[in-house]
Amino acid sequence: MSFGSRARAAMDAFGPLCVGIDPHPGLLEAWDLSDDVSGLERFAGTCVEAFAGRVAFVKPQSAFFERFGSRGVAVLEHTLQDLRHTGTLTVLDVKRGDIGSTARAYAQAYLDEDSPMAADAVTVSPYLGFGSLEPFLAEAERNDAGVFVLALTSNPEGPEVQHARGASGATVAGSVLANLARANAGAEPMGSYGAVVGVTIGSTQEDLDVNGPILAPGLGSQGGTVADVDRLFASVRDRVVPSVSRDVLAAGADVGALQDAAAALNDQLR
């Protein structure tokens, strides 16, 4: 099954929620865990136990693993492997973007099903030109994986680039969305190439219908609400994957409490 098909099936089974696995120092402390590899391992293992087979997506943030060096990356590898075949899809948040053979190497690292760090999907940056993402799209197609491309991000600096207009008059974000729509053309039930659009961007005149999933971070502590999701994504509501980290992870290290927090938010989103 393509990633688009698997994503649709997971959303239908579990609801649209994506839960971030973000072991930053403040959360480790809040969970009474040490800010080291041992604490990282316990945090990630608890998240796997809580969310595997209960939510449609989890999104490990690679940076919070990488900061511990090779041992932290090993924990990330084990986390991704433990989530395989559970029904919960992994979106590895790395926001990579490069050209040629380097982009191909990144794509193989994260999307080749035989890689120790293989995820179901990966986040990428298109700001070296959408064509620079071709190795990621090609590797995803070979492995029935997915790619989420930054389009309209929620950070205040984003509009500086994303709202800029090219010679055609289209915005950078609009061009990214149009390219995604072309890449997903004809795919059913939806394509495997998604856009990242922040819940907190306020409003947009861009066409968000890329015939693929829309990863929508910013829900909860970043200021986004379920009402914002309904309003901003009205035309593509059935393909939106709202992403939240702190509002669920704040439930603490108890597996049941984490499951209840995710379930409550999923119910609101449904």
pLDDT, position 176: 98
**What is the set of domains in the chain, with CATH numbers?**
3-269 (3.20.20.70)
Residue 11 pLDDT = 97
Mean pLDDT of 97-112: 97
CA distance 98 to 189: 30
Q: What is the pLDDT of residues 233-252, one digit of tens each?
A: 999 999 999 999 999 999 99
Instruction: Write out pLDDT tens, residues 175-221.
Output: 999 999 999 999 999 999 999 999 999 899 999 999 999 999 998 77
Tokens (6 digits) for 194: 């998604």
pLDDT of residue 261: 97
What is the tens place of the pLDDT at every residue in 147-181? 999 999 989 899 999 999 998 999 999 999 999 99
- Residue 224 — pLDDT band, cuts 50, 70, 90? confident
Indicate if the alpha-carbon torsion angle 116, 147, 191, 10 is positive or negative: positive
* Annotated active-site residue in 24, 78, 84, 95: 95
Q: What percent of the chain has pLDDT over 90?
A: 94
| Sign of CA pseudo-dihedral 236, 240, 147, 54 | negative
Question: The tokens of 144 are what?
Answer: 């029935």
- State yes or no: is 95 an active-site residue: yes
Beta bridge partners of 20: 59
Could you report how far apart the first and last alpha carbons of the chain are, in Å?
24
pLDDT of residue 190: 98
Identify whether the C-beta of residue 200 lies closer than 8 Å to the C-beta of residue 228. Answer: yes
The Cα 210–Cα 184 span in angstroms is: 7
pLDDT of 42: 98
Longest dimension (CA), the chain: 54
Q: Cα–Cα distance between 82 and 77 in angstroms, integer?
A: 9
Give the tens place of pLDDT for each residue, 106-145.
999 999 999 999 999 999 999 999 999 999 999 999 999 9
